[in-house]
Amino acid sequence: MAGSVVVTCPECEKKFKPKTDVQGKRIKCPFCQEPFVVPEAEADEVPEPEEKAAPAPAPPPARSDLDADPDPYGVKTVELVPRCPNCTEEMESEHAVICLACGYNTLTRQWGKTEKIVGLTFGRHFLYLLPALGAAAFTFFSIIGLILYSTVISPLLDPLKWWGMFDLEALKFWITTVFLGWMWGAGVFCYKKFIEKPKPDEVALD
């Protein structure tokens, strides 16, 4: 096989590798130029170099304790339920605002806080409602007074005296109108105190 034999010159004893197959042929030594016949036995087969085995792939790095478990969180299914962004606990409903687990308000982004406040006593509550009670009493007695003024007192007034002018219809009209305005204001005040805000503001302790 060309390129796979080595020939030894019998004169100079130098070895060379011919380009073609020269076994049994007469050739010249490229070194001493001496012709000779290459015998069959002198053609030494040069063993072809063995292919080097591919290096074994490096073993994968050992997994640490943290990622030894391929599924450390145990997530098998995804539950699309509303959860608190603070503690991740499940909310009461998808429209719930306050987390029942940690008290987080999802609208104001604040946590619920606990304060010590002054207790509401009967005396404090009574003092708070006292102006409204006075307004209610004023309205009640004004109604009674206007009724008595128009039906009982007015006919008894002597027209010849100075107080007889209170029997005039025009004066009756204006007196009634003024008192109705005052009673309207007192009624609005009573509504705010008794209906809208029946208790005073809480007083927090330091």
pLDDT digits (tens, 9 = 90+) for 75-104: 666 678 888 988 888 888 888 888 888 889
Q: In terms of domains, do 147 and 172 share one?
A: yes
N-to-C CA span, the chain: 106
Does residue 56 fall inside a structural domain? Answer: no
Of 70, 94, 114, the position where a domain reaches its end is: 114
Report pLDDT for 37: 80
Residue 23 counted as domain residue:
yes
> Can you tell me whether residue 124 is helix, strand or coil?
helix
Long-range own/partner contacts, residues 9-13 (CB < 8 A, 24 or more apart): 9/34, 9/36, 10/34, 10/36, 11/36
Name the residue with tokens 């209170």.
Answer: 166
Is residue 67 domain-resident? no
Q: Are residues 126 and 189 in the same domain?
A: yes
Range of the domain at 142: 122-196
- Token look-up 């072809």 returns 48
Domain end call among 72, 92, 114: 114
| Average pLDDT taken over every residue of the chain | 80
Model pTM above 0.75: no
Same domain, yes or no: 147 and 190: yes
pLDDT band at 141 (very low <50, low <70, confident <90, very high): very high
Q: Are 97 and 138 contained in the same domain?
A: no
**Burial group, residue 186, by CB count within 10 angstroms (0-12, 13-18, 19+):** buried
The answer to whether residue 53 sits within a structural domain is no
- 137 and 173 both lie in a single domain: yes
Strands (E), the chain: 5-8, 15-16, 26-28, 35-37, 44-45, 104-105, 110-111
The answer as to whether 55 is a domain residue is no
Distances (CA, A) of 123 to 117, 147, 192: 16, 35, 20
Residues 86 and 105 in one domain: yes
Cα gap 85→39, rounded to integer Å: 93
Residue 54 lies in a domain: no
Q: Which residue has the higher pLDDT, 36 or 73?
A: 36
The answer to whether the CB of 47 falls within 8 A of the CB of 5 is no
Does residue 40 lie within any of the structural domains?
A: yes
The total domain count for the chain is 3
**What are the tens digits of pLDDT across the range 150-196?**
888 877 777 777 777 777 777 888 888 999 999 999 999 999 999 99
109 and 158 housed in the same domain: no
